Chain A
Amino acid sequence: MRFNEKELVFLSRQPSERAAELGMRGPKKGDVVKRRVVKLIVNFLFYFRTDEDEPIGALLLEQCRVEREDDQVFSIVFLDEAERKYLFECDSQEQCVEWIDAIVKASYEFMRKNLIYYRTEIHRLTGKDPLEQYGISDETRFQVNSGLPPLPPAAT
């Protein structure tokens, strides 16, 4: 599958939400733990060799599950191939917990759920759709019932 690699590499150089050197093990049998610089940027997890500027790879963090494997270890699995685990070894429990939290919140789908929740709550408490003022109430991505008609216009 083709993808715009240059642009993705460019993205990997942007300010990250979180970055650290972790032990990383790939999902293939026989993969071993290697020290990698791991950077979380929007919904991508980039990983670099410790002394290189260009990432070796990127993981799109949609449709995945993050789990605590051990005190200081977490894993990422993608729902379409749940047997394949990417393992990450942290330096402390705290760091492990923080990474898990950050990755869970890094998906576009997670943000969409939050947005829908806030939108619905504000509408419930005030009778107004907060997205109307921005002219984006009809956008599919903001719909409460994924694809169903948008919220009725606010009563005056």
Chain B
Amino acid sequence: MKLNERSVAHYATCNSPPDKTGFLFKKGERNTAYHRRWFILKGNMLFYLEEKESREPVGVIVLEGCTVELCESESEEFAFAIKFDCVKAKVYKMAAENQAAMESWVKALSRASFDYMRLVVKELERQLEEVQEEARSSQAKSMLKKHQLQLQGATFSLQNATITGPSQEGVSSRENGVSWSKPPSVPNGVSNTQGDCSERGDGVRPPPVPPRRKTNGGSLESPVSPGTGCFSKLHDWYGKEVAELRIEWLQSQIHW
């Protein structure tokens, strides 16, 4: 089977950083003596060179699908083997120069596969998404809180603002000032003046009642006339109005 050998050899010695390098003894394939070689581990490829200064590898072991085992060798201490699962697979017998080197190589080689790298990347990708999601939701929560506070603030200022409605010829129908009833202090309900079509079972006080408005023949269009019996509709409508006022206010701030 062909392999793009020249480029593979180039990969060994090019300037991409290796994952591990060092001298190891490798048992020969024909000559069964152990030969000292310079090893370069890059990704899932283990290259071996005659000398550290050699420009080209003698060979390469594709590590995908391998297992690395410590082994008992009669002639060599600190021996380990690179094994493969396939039929009549090669066993590469290696030996390090000391215990620490052996352990370090065994660890590095057993984690060298593409599959392993892929697993770790997927796991970190998942973790990052989780972290980002948490950051987004806590940001959303704090923005919601801010919005709620602003909404309350806007409602408050609405209550204190002077609102003038459109005027019509000949008729003075200006609404000036705001007259409004004292906010109800009913703990969990809605004030009777507005009817009660929204049950609140949670004991939360309703927001202060927005001012009653006098409209002039529908010139201040509202989907629901203030006299409506349904509080929730009224609440929604005023809420919308407050939101619009807030947007106007925010926009006016931008032009400073």
Q: Is B truly associated with A?
A: yes
Do A122 and B117 have beta carbons less than 8 Å apart? no
Chain B at the A interface: SS class: mixed
Residues of the B chain whose Cβ atoms lie less than 8 Å from the Cβ of A146: 17
Say which size band chain B's interface belongs to: 35 or more
Contact A121-B7, Cβ < 8 Å, known A1-B60, A42-B44, A43-B43:
no
B114 in contact with A42 (CB, 8 Å) = yes
* CB contact under 8 A between A111 and B114, given known A80-B6, A125-B135: yes
A119 CB to nearest chain B CB (Å): 6
As a 0/1 sequence over residues 49 to 81 of chain A, the CB contacts with chain B under 8 angstroms (1 = contact) are 000001111111011100000000000001111
Across-interface contacts of A11 in B (CB, < 8 A): 62, 64-65
Which residues does chain A contribute within 8 Å of B16, judged by CB atoms? 62-63, 109
Task: State in angstroms the CA–CA spacing of A112 and B65 once bound together.
Answer: 19
B127/A122 in contact, CB under 8 A: yes
Chain A contact patch, size range: 35 or more
Q: How far is the CA of A109 from the CA of B85 in the complex (A)?
A: 26
CB distance from B251 to the nearest CB of A (A): 33
Which residue of A has the minimal Cβ distance to B88? Answer: A6
- B residues within 8 Å of A by Cβ? 1-11, 14, 16-20, 42-45, 56-62, 64-66, 84-86, 88-90, 107-108, 111-115, 117-118, 120-121, 123-125, 127-128, 131-132, 135
List 9 extra interface pairs beyond A1-B58, A8-B1, A62-B16, CB under 8 A: A1-B59, A4-B84, A6-B86, A6-B89, A54-B1, A64-B7, A108-B42, A115-B120, A130-B124
